[in-house]
């Protein structure tokens, strides 16, 4: 949200809401008593913004939003990115990407295997995204949890010798790298074939292995098992060994919060400091969520 936009909202009345850190979790906070479908005052936005920086993940309970309200709240935080898989955009609202295992009239309504591997959303673009806002539409009776891991805590707990080794290293991120995997990796889910125009939008990009958070300055790992393919200027074997070591370290249990979705949950997380993973849903249960993704800054 721009400073001018925040000032313009100063006349809007404050809402009474609580921000509660998740007990026993390494990250995240619940936001209770707010309606993000209403215009936010500058004071309300400032509280949410600081909580977002402090906790990395905000969980808004009991939200009742139209697609337009979802988009409007998302735009408070920045410009929105449109996913390359246009066939899974919400009709009439291309800013909303549908994540779902539901098939209607023989066609999937959303991407069924989204989040199968640990990742930061759209780390395969430049600049990578600031964050994402995911809204529950239809939840399964079993499964469907989402895991989040703090990459700042992961960096902080690396041995000093490894931290120094990572200084100045850069890595390649590619959206299409997993398309080359064996079919069983996706357990029967067929990913859409990308057109030439779509492929042109997801050419590989390079980011630092360790990035400074642009708002807090805190360092964090910025590689992930889904999109990071190799480290620039390292021999293949050395690159693979180092990435495997970082991937394993980055998801140690003490860095992870497991979110068990509740009806009408709205989650907003920081792609600059967290990675996340979808745990999967049994095929007999329907699941549908709507996601917006916010444009970010160059990783430095």
Catalytic residue among 47, 70, 83, 119: 119
- Has 20 been annotated as catalytic? no
Helix (H, G, I), strand (E, B) or coil at 253: helix
* Tokens linked to 14: 């404050």
Start-to-end Cα distance in the chain: 21
- Determine if residue 16 is left, alpha or beta; phi over 0 gives left, psi from -120 to 50 gives alpha, anything else beta: beta
> Is 173 among the residues known to form the active site?
no
| 21 Cα distance to chain centroid | 19
Distance CA 155, CA 38 (A): 38
Instruction: List all residues 6 or more positions away from 113 whose beta carbon is below 8 Å from its beta carbon.
Output: 186, 187, 189, 191
Question: What is the C-alpha to C-alpha distance for residues 259 and 278, in angstroms, rounded to an integer?
Answer: 10
270 catalytically annotated = no
The single residue of 272, 276, 287, 290 carrying the catalytic annotation is 276
For residues 137 and 267, the answer to whether their CB atoms sit within 8 Å is no
Q: Of the residues 173, 211, 213, 291, which is catalytic? A: 291
What are the beta bridge partners of residue 270? Answer: 131
The active-site residue out of 121, 173, 178, 290 is 121
Rounded-to-integer distance, Cα 122 and Cα 81, Å: 9
Known active-site residue 291: yes
The number of residues making up the chain comes to 300
What are the helix (H) ranges across the chain? 3-8, 42-55, 67-75, 151-156, 160-166, 196-201, 236-250
Q: Which residues are catalytic?
A: 119, 121, 276, 291
């Amino acid at each position: 949200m721009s400073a001018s936009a925040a000032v313009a909202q100063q006349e809007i009345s404050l809402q009474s809401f609580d921000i509660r850190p998740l007990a026993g979790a390494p990250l995240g906070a619940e936001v209770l008593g707010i309606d993000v479908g209403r215009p936010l005052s500058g004071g309300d936005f400032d509280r949410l913004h600081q909580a977002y920086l402090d906790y990395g993940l905000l969980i808004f309970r009991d939200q009742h939003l139209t697609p337009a309200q979802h988009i409007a709240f998302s735009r408070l935080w920045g410009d929105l990115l449109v996913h390359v898989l246009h066939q899974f955009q919400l009709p009439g609202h291309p800013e909303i990407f549908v994540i779902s295992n539901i098939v209607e009239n023989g066609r999937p309504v959303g991407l069924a295997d989204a989040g199968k591997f640990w990742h930061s959303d759209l780390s395969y673009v430049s600049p990578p995204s600031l964050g994402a806002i995911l809204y529950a539409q239809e939840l399964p009776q079993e499964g469907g949890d989402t895991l989040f891991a703090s990459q700042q805590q992961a960096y902080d707990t690396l041995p000093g010798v490894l931290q120094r080794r990572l200084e100045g290293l850069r890595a390649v991120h590619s959206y299409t790298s997993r398309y080359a995997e064996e079919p069983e990796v996706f357990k029967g889910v067929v990913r859409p074939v990308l057109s030439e125009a779509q492929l042109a939008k997801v050419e590989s990009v390079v980011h630092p292995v360790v990035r400074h958070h642009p708002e807090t300055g805190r360092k964090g790992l910025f590689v992930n098992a889904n999109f990071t393919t190799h480290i620039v200027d390292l021999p293949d074997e050395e690159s693979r060994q180092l990435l495997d070591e970082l991937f394993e370290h980055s998801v140690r249990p003490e860095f992870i919060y497991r979110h068990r979705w509740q009806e009408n949950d709205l989650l907003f997380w920081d792609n600059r400091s967290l990675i996340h993973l979808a745990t999967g849903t049994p095929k007999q249960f329907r699941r549908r969520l709507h996601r917006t993704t916010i444009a970010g800054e160059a990783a430095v």
